[in-house]
Amino acid sequence: MKPDATQAFLEKSGREELCQKVDGRGGRFNDLSGQRFGRWLVTPSWERRMWPKGGKVVYWLCRCSCPAHSEKFVPAGKLKSQESRSCGCLDRELSAQRKQKEIRDIDHPLYRIWETLKRRCYNENSRDYPRFGARGVTMCDRWRNSFRAFAQDIPARPSRKHHLHLKDSDGSYCLENVEWLTARERRVRSRQCHSS
């Protein structure tokens, strides 16, 4: 038999044997062998195991495409739901990327300002909280959930003397309600508000 024909024969035989095992046990489930889920490649090997909550679950032997080629039995449900996508290598890589992203964000000149605004709105231990968060001042969801969105929306800081202030002190931190002001400009604006 030629190598390609031999491989095809073995794959076909394995699949038929699998079907016979499934039929013989009286249970039916999807044959996932040969499919890819994230970095997992599902092999023809499988077994039924007791699930902690009761009942039996099909586990498939999967081989990771990372350099280690790790193998592990994974529940079919976790493969289909993408809850399990690798031997753990993918999670480690994504975690490292997130940490690298955080390091780059921290170096951004607006990062400390963004952190300060979040603290005064949501951290009850912040000394500024009584003047902001306790009065109902919040940040728009776009800024609260993403520093990058904040940095993208805010105009460049004119100088180190400028600070981000609310136009309407009873409003929330959002693009339409903030402006850069120096301490002097802030005092002038405050006097104008009181005199009007």
Output the DSSP codes for 35-93: -EETTEEEEEEEEEEE-TTSSEEEEEEEEE-STT--EEEEEHHHHHTTS--SSSHHHHH
Read off the pLDDT of each residue in 145-167 and give the average, rounded to a whole number: 91
Q: Which residues contact 110 (CB under 8 A, 6 or more apart)?
A: 147, 150, 151, 154, 157
Q: Predicted confidence band at 125 (pLDDT cuts at 50, 70, 90)?
A: very high
Domain membership of residue 98 (yes or no) is no
Residues 6+ apart with CB under 8 A from 169: 137
Out of 91, 125, 148, pick the residue that ends a domain: 91
111 with 150, same domain: the answer is: yes
Is the overall model pTM greater than 0.85, yes or no? no
Domain boundary at 62, 91, 120, which? 91
Residues 114 and 191 in one domain: yes
Nearest to 147 by CA among 178, 180, 181, 116: 116
Range of the domain at 67: 3-91
63 and 121 part of one domain: no
Token couple for 74:
């994974």
pLDDT at 152 over 50: yes
Please list, in sequence order, all residues whose beta carbon lies within 8 angstroms of the beta carbon of residue 56, skipping any fewer than 6 positions away. Answer: 27, 48, 49, 50
Long-range contacts of 158-165 (CB under 8 A, 24+ apart): 163/113, 164/113, 164/117
Query: C-alpha distances in angstroms, 72 versus 16, 27, 29, 66, 86?
Result: 23, 23, 19, 13, 9
Q: Is residue 178 part of a domain?
A: yes
Q: Output the pLDDT for position 186.
A: 85
**Do 84 and 74 form a contact (C-beta atoms < 8 A)?**
yes
User: Average per-residue pLDDT in the chain?
Assistant: 82
pLDDT-derived band at 7, boundaries 50, 70, 90: very low
- For the chain, the first-to-last Cα distance in angstroms comes to 96
For residue 193, what pLDDT band results from cuts at 50, 70 and 90? low
Judged on CB neighbours under 10 Å (0-12, 13-18, 19+), 156 is exposed
Q: Specify the number of domains making up the chain.
A: 2
How confident is the model over 78-99, as pLDDT tens digits? 999 989 999 989 888 888 777 6
What Rg value do the Cα atoms of the chain yield, rounded? 29
